[in-house]
Structure 1
Amino acid sequence: MSFVTTAAIEVKAGGRAVRVSSPDRVLWPQVGLTKADLAHYWAQLDEVGLRGYRSRPVHLHRFPKGIGGEGFFQKRIPDRRPDWVRRTHIVGPNGTASDALCPTDVAHLVWGVQMGTIEFHPWPTRSWEPDRPDELRVDLDPSPGTVFADVRRAAAATHELLTDVGLAGWPKTSGKRGIHVLVRIAPRWDFVEVRRAAVALARELERRVPTLVTAAWWKEERGERIFVDFNQNCRDRTVCGAWSPRPTPTATVSAPFCWDDLEHIEPGDLTVSNAVAHIHEHGDPHKMIDDTAGSLEGLLELAKRNEAAGIPDAPWPPTFPKMPGEARRVAPSRRAN
């Protein structure tokens, strides 16, 4: 149980003083980390923490009572907020519009903590290019029966494939059981084309390592393989951002790492308690992520080959309208003969 006894504090971040109420509210009971601890975590990360969120729409996964309480996603930020908090207009797949948090300094993330946010989920777009992603995301999602060593092997195969098509991948742990690979791209393609490239990548990985990786959307078809969740590249879909904490008992974070360290990482290595010290000792593995923007032409060529072979588009999420060329959006076990 959390007890709140301390008055609000001010946390210095990004050149601002951010008011944080109920600072001694315990968010992670098992390790005793409080709201103040989380606010100071982001303030200490500073520009390293901001890198994955700067000028992007960000969804907030809020746990006002800590991870033991109910969590909920918030896309629209409230009208009542400090006048320096920036927002940006976003439109979902069904046309619903809202104004999302758009960090321009790390104070915005500390303000998110004040709102009870544990997870920050950035869009793959910048505020000035809302319809053209500058990032393709490879979400390696372990199925039941797989272990983290399998995720590592899938990540290595992803690295090899990205290199073959002329793209640079920037890996990070998901903070739970998986790995995300972020791929910076030129903002030349819309969400449909970026997802098309992601589907091609998933299918090519499955072709190369079929006993390890699957591109099957339906769970009943995946088996004990790592699923490449291509639909995380749809409009309004997000993954947990770099250095964001997760609502796990030990306050693990989604931790960037270098490819050379792939064989040594574990999903629980870095937490809110030790991530800042780790960066001070080893540096920021994603420091150069914004320096180069790649092309999707290689992956889109793979997509063209699949289409020429008569392979339909993979199913879209149920919240999206039926798309041209899409396979049947019905699980195989429920289809009529």
Structure 2
Amino acid sequence: MTTGTLTVRAGRRSLDIHRPDKVLFPSEGDGGGYRKGDLVAYYRAVAPFMLPHLRGRPLMLERHPDGIDGPRFMQKNVPEHYPDWIKRVEVSKEGGTVTHLVCDDVATLVLLADQACITPHRWLSRSGQPHRPDRLVFDLDPSAGDDFAAVREAALLLGELLDELRLRSAPMTTGSRGLHLVVPLDGHQDFDEVRGFAKDVADHLAEAHPDRLTTAARKKDRGERLYLDVQRNGYAQTAVAPFAVRAKPGAPVAVPISWDQLDDPDLDARRWTIADAVEQARTDPWAGLMGRGRALGPAARRLDGLRTRRPTHPKIDQDD
């Protein structure tokens, strides 16, 4: 049955969920599929942990109205029929402007789930300063297959280097194939400066481990080496939001983790799903980290100093 509506309370609003029994994630083997009502329930439950990572940021919405086996729509502009209480921000793009949705409250998150937005992708800057990111993201995916051991190794090497540069960083499973390493910034540099710094870091690490890591943009030039991808650090680029569900079988979730959890040999990119991601959220693995962004100037100078010697990447107290 995929008809009817379900009224749910979301913050100070009551919203009608249309066709809550519609299957978005088909069953697999003995596992039951997930319906739109399940997606709504998950986003309501995870909202206290997810909203701090969304507030004030333009979003790109990945919608699957007929479930993950149907067509995918990447939505940037806010449709006219969305309610007036939905927050919007107009940002400049090449050739004009785009009006993005901003999700600041649980009601908006629930409405997006009702619209079969399975995955919100966020900007790395906020609407008040769209050209100045306060997040830097390294995207780590295996070169082929599901070699998560190579992803884990690259994340540890990159985290140690960032420690040496005295930049805090935090890992997140993507719910797809790999990890994101997120670095909070103070928002004083523009995207060109941030992406340039990220590329310098990636180049330095790849030069230190040329048999395992690469920054080669062309797949044919990478071989079996893991690609250190910094391309998300550009104006109007997006990254999957923490605690976002992915349009993959089983409804995996992009989940922030601690560095200790990265040592778990059973960890992989799809470790958590909508069935248990809220439990991980309650552990608050990024506690206090994202609100303490640093400037890149001192880190860039430290990186310049490292280029004259072989990197050793010792651990440094992140509170120095």
Q: Deviation of residue 82 (structure 1)?
A: 1.6
What residue number does 2:43 align with?
Answer: 42
2:223 and 2:299 map into 1 onto residues whose CA distance is 26
SS at match of 1:262: helix
Indicate if the aligned counterparts of 2:175 and 2:245 stay in contact, CA closer than 8 A: yes
What residue number does 2:281 align with?
Answer: 279
Greater shift, 215-224 or 291-300, is seen at 291-300
Residue 14 of structure 2 corresponds to residue 26 of structure 1: no
CA RMSD of aligned residues (A): 2.0
Q: Deviation of residue 303 (structure 1)?
A: 7.8
Indicate if the aligned counterparts of 2:142 and 2:177 stay in contact, CA closer than 8 A: yes
1:250 and 1:195 map into 2 onto residues whose CA distance is 34
**1:66-106 alpha-carbon deviations (Å, 9 max, x no partner):** 001011211111111122110112223x2431111111112
1:275 and 1:290 map into 2 onto residues whose CA distance is 19
1:234 and 1:59 map into 2 onto residues whose CA distance is 15
SS at match of 2:83: coil
**1:90-239 aligned within 5 A:** 90-92=91-93, 94-144=94-144, 147-239=147-239
Structure-2 change in CA distance of 1:156 and 1:188 (3 Å): same
Structure with the greater relative contact order (CA < 8 A, sep ≥ 6): 1 or 2?
2
1:78 and 1:84 map into 2 onto residues whose CA distance is 13
The amino acid that maps onto 1:270 is W
Greater shift, 21-30 or 142-151, is seen at 142-151
2:204 and 2:146 map into 1 onto residues whose CA distance is 20
Q: Deviation of residue 115 (structure 1)?
A: 1.6
**1:133-159 alpha-carbon deviations (Å, 9 max, x no partner):** 111111112211661000000000111
Q: Deviation of residue 302 (structure 1)?
A: 7.2
The amino acid that maps onto 2:175 is G
Q: Percent identity over the alignment?
A: 35
The amino acid that maps onto 2:235 is R
TM-score, structure 2 as length reference = 0.89
**1:224-263 aligned within 5 A:** 224-263=224-263
Q: Deviation of residue 13 (structure 1)?
A: 2.2
SS at match of 2:53: coil
Q: Deviation of residue 279 (structure 1)?
A: 3.3
The amino acid that maps onto 1:34 is R
What residue number does 2:67 align with?
Answer: 66
Greater shift, 131-140 or 43-52, is seen at 43-52
What residue number does 1:88 align with?
Answer: 89
1:100 and 1:304 map into 2 onto residues whose CA distance is 38
Indicate if the aligned counterparts of 2:184 and 2:291 stay in contact, CA closer than 8 A: no
1:16 and 1:207 map into 2 onto residues whose CA distance is 54
Of Structure 1 and Structure 2, the greater strand share is in 2
Which ranges of structure 2 fall in alignment gaps of 5 or more residues?
Answer: 308-320
Q: Deviation of residue 168 (structure 1)?
A: 0.6
1:306 and 1:217 map into 2 onto residues whose CA distance is 24
1:206 and 1:49 map into 2 onto residues whose CA distance is 33
Q: Deviation of residue 196 (structure 1)?
A: 0.5
Residue 268 of structure 2 corresponds to residue 266 of structure 1: yes
The amino acid that maps onto 2:253 is V
**1:19-72 alpha-carbon deviations (Å, 9 max, x no partner):** 221111100002411111101111111220212111100100110100010112
How many pairs are equivalent? 302
2:214 and 2:201 map into 1 onto residues whose CA distance is 11
Indicate if the aligned counterparts of 2:175 and 2:271 stay in contact, CA closer than 8 A: no
Indicate if the aligned counterparts of 2:7 and 2:14 stay in contact, CA closer than 8 A: yes
Structure-2 change in CA distance of 1:305 and 1:278 (3 Å): closer
**1:282-306 alpha-carbon deviations (Å, 9 max, x no partner):** x121232333011212453478789
Indicate if the aligned counterparts of 1:200 and 1:299 stay in contact, CA closer than 8 A: no
Residue 21 of structure 2 corresponds to residue 9 of structure 1: no
1:306 and 1:160 map into 2 onto residues whose CA distance is 13
2:66 and 2:141 map into 1 onto residues whose CA distance is 28
Indicate if the aligned counterparts of 1:11 and 1:17 stay in contact, CA closer than 8 A: yes
